Amino acid sequence: MFGGRKRGPVDNEKYYKVLGVSKDASSGDLKKSYYKLAKDLHPDKNQGDPDKLAQFQEISHAYEVLSDPEKWQLYDQYGEEGLQGGGPSSAGSIFEHIFGGGFGGQRGPRTGEDIGMHLPVTLKELYLGTVKKIPVARRVVCSKCSGKGSANPNAVKVCGACRGQGVRLVRRQMGGHILQMQAECDECNATGEIISSKDRCPTCKGNKMISEEKIFEVDVMRGSHEGEKKVFHGEGHHEPGISPGNLVFVFKEKEVADCPFHRRGNDLIYQKEITLLEALTGYEFVITHFDERALLVKSAPGDVIKPDDIRVINGEGMPIGGNIFHKGFLFVHFTIKWPAPSTLNATQVQHLNSAFPEKNRITLPAEYEDVTLIPYDEKQHEKNARSSSRREAYSDDDEEPSGPQCVHQ
């Protein structure tokens, strides 16, 4: 999955042996082996067995390292010491290992440009896991001329304008001052080389690179998060004479209008509307999960639901770390559908009064006024308030003008 792997002269075999895979195993092979071992060693199946627990922790740590592109690189280059201290034991050996020389040696090798892409995935795909086939256009070295720009090796000349550097010093006048600055050479397009038009490669037109489209299979592990990255090392843009860049996919959760769940970390939240009768006397409904399992949900005896109450189901959230036996919580958020105004008849009201405790009785004062509550409409209320304000703008002594006044002589 990640392409060829470079090995360093260090002890970097332990984690592969723990998972029972070879050093050239793909990410898919790593995952399959981990799932198989985790299923047998998981603590839920081996309660009270310290040896099985230790083995489960060991394989989980090994998989965590080898499935993470950055940690995998550190481990393959420097072993376990690289994960703890970031590389070989001494500063000198770090420079020798990376740069091929001691202090004062040449800088690290240049690499081609990385390619970054968003990968849209639905919440269902993040829950179940999936494999996406994505076409990617990238620059690669022309195979016709092997990145030389010409089939004739003598046709490639050093650019005389920049002396093969690709950049040259130019002078610019700014505010009465002459400034000298570095700029890309326009004679050779910053390549440092000149190829005559008749000798240029017919495939790449002397550019040494061509555009190529390749299909990549992106493995989305169960329980993956938005923002998680999948890196294909050496599959970015290529350039002659340097290491290719990387291809990086970044997961982006895609909204689905009719999805009944939404995610919070490793948990799922399910919105459920029930009637007032169900809230008071009990409810029963079915949740169809992402894997098509039907979960029958029943209220506990005597449970009364209030608006915005939350109940929880253990172990039915998102898979954690790709492990189908280790999941977050599934929260059920309740809303209540109340009866519409004037839908209860006198008989129903009488039954309700007899079913519930007696209403509070009040003692009336000697003098009182009857008032009536009406439904509140915000827009209508604001309209009425504006009309009232305009009427109050005129006092009892001032009459609002009713129109033009006529003067009689």
3-state secondary structure 101-125: CCCCCCCCCCECCCEEEEEEEEHHH
Q: Could you read off the pLDDT of 212-233 as tens digits, one per residue?
A: 999 999 999 999 999 899 999 9
In a domain, 405, yes or no: no
- Assign residue 59 the CATH number of its domain: 1.10.287.110
Cα–Cα distance measured from residue 67 to residue 75, given in angstroms and rounded to the nearest whole number: 11
Residues (pLDDT < 70) of the chain are 1-10, 26-28, 43-48, 69, 73, 77, 82, 84-110, 173-176, 389-409
Phi, psi dihedrals of residue 142, rounded to the nearest 5°: -65, 125
Q: What is the 3-state secondary structure (H, E, C) of 355-376?
A: HCCCCCCCCCCCCCCCCCCCCC
Distance CA 291, CA 6 (A): 39
Q: Are residues 384 and 282 in the same domain?
A: yes
* 3 state DSSP class of 100: coil
Residue 101 shares a structural domain with residue 188: no
Residue 399 covered by a domain: no
**Do 282 and 376 sit in the same domain of this protein?**
yes
In a 10 Å sphere around its CB, with 0-12 CB exposed, 13-18 middle and 19+ buried, how is residue 206 labelled? Answer: buried
Instruction: Identify whether the C-beta of residue 165 lies closer than 8 Å to the C-beta of residue 185.
Output: yes
For residues 226 and 242, what is the distance between their CA atoms, to the nearest angstrom?
32
What is the rounded distance in angstroms from the CA atom of residue 196 to the CA atom of residue 368?
Answer: 105
Residue 71 and residue 6 share a domain: yes
Looking at the domain assignment, is residue 270 inside a domain?
A: yes
Scan for tokens 């949900």, then name that residue.
297
Task: Based on the fold, state whether residues 188 and 301 are members of the same structural domain.
Answer: no
Q: Are residues 282 and 380 in the same domain?
A: yes
* Per-residue model confidence (pLDDT) at position 401: 53
pLDDT at residue 328, rounded to an integer: 95
CATH of the domain at 354: 2.60.260.20
- Domain residues for the domain of 347 are 260-388
406, part of any domain: no
Give the chain's end-to-end CA distance (angstroms, integer): 104
User: What is the tally of structural domains in the chain?
Assistant: 3
- What is the reported pLDDT for 243? 87
Instruction: Measure the CA–CA gap between 144 and 243, rounded to whole angstroms.
Output: 19
- Identify whether residues 264 and 384 lie together within a single domain: yes
Query: Nearest to residue 120, comparing CAs of 255, 213, 258?
Result: 255
List the Cα angle 255/235/145 in 5-degree steps: 135
Domain-embedded: residue 222: no
Predicted local distance difference test score (pLDDT) of residue 7: 41
- Do 193 and 208 contact (CB within 8 A), yes or no? no
pLDDT at position 41, please? 76
What are the backbone dihedrals phi and psi of residue 181, each rounded to the nearest 5 degrees, phi first?
-140, 165
- Is 341 a member of any domain? yes
Q: Is residue 266 part of a domain?
A: yes
Last residue of a domain, one of 82, 107, 132: 107
User: CA angle at residue 7 from 5 to 11, to 5 degrees?
Assistant: 135
pLDDT for the residue 312: 96
- Give the integer Cα–Cα distance in Å for 207 and 210: 8
Q: pLDDT digit string (tens) for 318-339?
A: 999 888 889 999 999 999 999 8
Q: Where are the alpha helices (DSSP H) in 114-266?
A: 123-128
Q: What residue has token string 């599959």?
A: 235
Structural domain ending residue among the three candidates 182, 207, 232 = 207
Structural tokens at position 230? 């999948």
* 114 close to 204: Cβ distance less than 8 angstroms: no
Tell me, yes or no, whether 95 and 16 share the same domain: yes
Cα(351)–Cα(362) distance, integer angstroms: 22
Backbone angles phi, psi at 65, to 5 degrees: -70, -50
What confidence tens digit (pLDDT) does each residue in 259-286 have? Answer: 999 999 999 999 999 999 999 999 999 9
The CATH number of the domain holding residue 150 is: 2.10.230.10
CA–CA distance, 83 with 95 (Å, rounded to integer): 17
In terms of domains, do 148 and 98 share one?
A: no
pLDDT at 90: 38
* Residue 229, in any domain of the structure: no
383 and 267 in a single domain? The answer is yes
Residues 179 and 270 in one domain: no
Tell me if 38 sits within 8 A of 59, measured CB to CB. Answer: yes
Domain co-membership, 99 together with 150: no
What is the per-residue pLDDT for 335? 96
The C-alpha atoms of residue 405 and residue 399 are separated, in whole angstroms, by 13
